[in-house]
Amino acid sequence: MSSYPEDKITKGMELVEICDRILAKAKESGGNIVYSSAKLGRRTKLPPRKEDSQEVKQLKDKLSKLSKRGHRDVVEAVFAFARTIEAKDHITGNHVERAVRYATEIAKKLKLSERDIEHIREAAVLHDLGKIGVSDKNLNKKSKLTKKEFEEIKKHPQIGVDIIRPIHLMHDLIPLILYHHERWDGKGYPAGLKGEEIPIGARIIAIADVYEALISNRPYRKAYSKKEAIAIIKKEKGTHFDPAICDMFLKIIEVEKEK
C-alpha cells in the first residue's frame, strides 16, 4: 500500500508507481505480507522498477488508447502489431505464418473443439510478439549467444503476455503464448513445466515453432533440409515434444510430402 501525503507524492499516478515498487519488494520477501514505504524506509531506498523497452512502451500506449474504442478493435490491433516483428526479425514474419498453419492443422487432426482451434491459431500468430522487447543485436547475432544474451531472449514469452494481459478477450491465449517454450521433459522455460502440465495448445505451438525454425535460415546457421528437420523432431519425441502430438505432426508432414 501507499498513501498521500505520507509518501510525499505530487501526482496521482505516483501512488500507483510507488505501490508497484513496494509490491515487487514484498514478492522478493516471499509474498503473503503487507508492505508500505514506511516499513521499507525512505522512498529512495525502494528497488528501482525495471523499465520496458521503448518499443514495448509504445505498443502498450497504443493498446491503452485503443481500448477506449472497444475490446474487438484492440484485439485486431494486436494482430496488426504482431506484424511489426518482421522489422526486428526479418525471418520471423514468414516463419510465423507457416507455424500458424501447422499448429492449426495439428489441432484439427487432434479433433479439438472449434474454440480451442481458434485460440491455438491466434496464439500461434502472437507467440513471438514479445520479441519487440528484445534487442535487435541479440535477435540478429551471427555467433553463439552468451548466457546473458540468451536470458534476454528467454523473456520474450513473458513480454508478449504482458502486452496482451489488459485485453480480456485474449486471456485464453496467455498460457499458450507464455508456455510455448516449455518441454515435455520439464527442461524448458519460463516455468519448467513438464508433460501434461503444459497446456495442449502450447505443446502444439512448440512443435510447429521448432520445425519452422529448423527449416528457416537463421543469422547463426543455414536452414536444415526438411529431411534433417524431421529427423531432429523424431529424436526429440518424448523429451522436447509431447509424443502423441509429435506423431500427429509427423503424419501431417508425410501427407504433405506425398502431395
* Nearest CA-CA partner of 155 in 199, 189, 105: 189
Return the number of other C-beta atoms located less than 10 Å from residue 37's C-beta: 21
CA angle 242–104–94, rounded 5-degree value: 105
State the DSSP code for 6: T
| Residues 156, 154: Cα–Cα separation, whole Å | 6
Grid coordinates of 54? 521503448
- Dihedral sign for Cα atoms in the order 120, 125, 128, 129: negative
Pick the catalytic residue: 39, 45, 62, 131?
A: 131
Alpha carbon 216 to its chain's center: 20
Residue 218, φ and ψ in degrees, nearest 5: -125, 155
Residue 259 known to be catalytic? no
Active-site positions read 131
